[in-house]
Amino acid sequence: MTMSGSGRESRAAQLDDIDRKLLALLTKNSRRTNNSLAEELGIAPSTCLARLNALRDSGVISHFTIEVDPQVLGRELEALIFVKIRPGARHLMSNFASDMRSKPGVRQLFFLGGADDFVLHVAVRNSSDVRQFVLDNLSANPAVATTQTSLVFEHGHGSGEF
């Protein structure tokens, strides 16, 4: 038994090969129709729908989403900003995370174990915007000890297989 991110007890879901293939197909394109999924999996549409509903009901599929291309919106530069919180400010970590999630340009936030406490994935127009983001939101924050910024040249998704 493990604890989920919400602190609730959870059991690892048992997936068979068809469930794994269904998840991989949906990870690549969550807008696929039930009939096209069933055809590719070699199962009846009713079976496919039942499996999809079971994956949703069990929490394996938590939501369906879209992926926005930041470059199309003029956000040509992406960066990863590694953040260390001051030892005396550990009690502010939850507030820091909530605050950062609400900032324009923050695509993802990761709470880490290791040398850094957080990684922010930001998408901005240019290097001046990265600099301004760091100055306004991180350097000016009394909870932040240090930051280190790395530019993202390219990124992609994994296979989606589980």
The answer to whether residue 7 sits within a structural domain is no
Residue 104 belongs to a domain:
yes
Q: Are 143 and 92 in contact (CB under 8 A)?
A: yes
In tens digits, the chain (162 residues) has pLDDT values of 333 455 555 678 889 999 999 999 999 899 999 999 999 999 999 999 999 999 999 999 999 888 889 999 999 999 999 999 999 998 999 999 999 999 999 999 999 999 999 999 999 999 999 999 999 999 999 999 999 999 999 988 887 677
Is position 110 within any domain?
yes
Residue range of the domain that includes 105: 70-152
pTM of the model as a whole: 0.78
- For residue 4, the 8-state DSSP code is -
Strand arrangement, sheet containing 118-124? 106-111, 118-124, 77-85, 144-152
Residues 50, 94, single domain; the answer is no
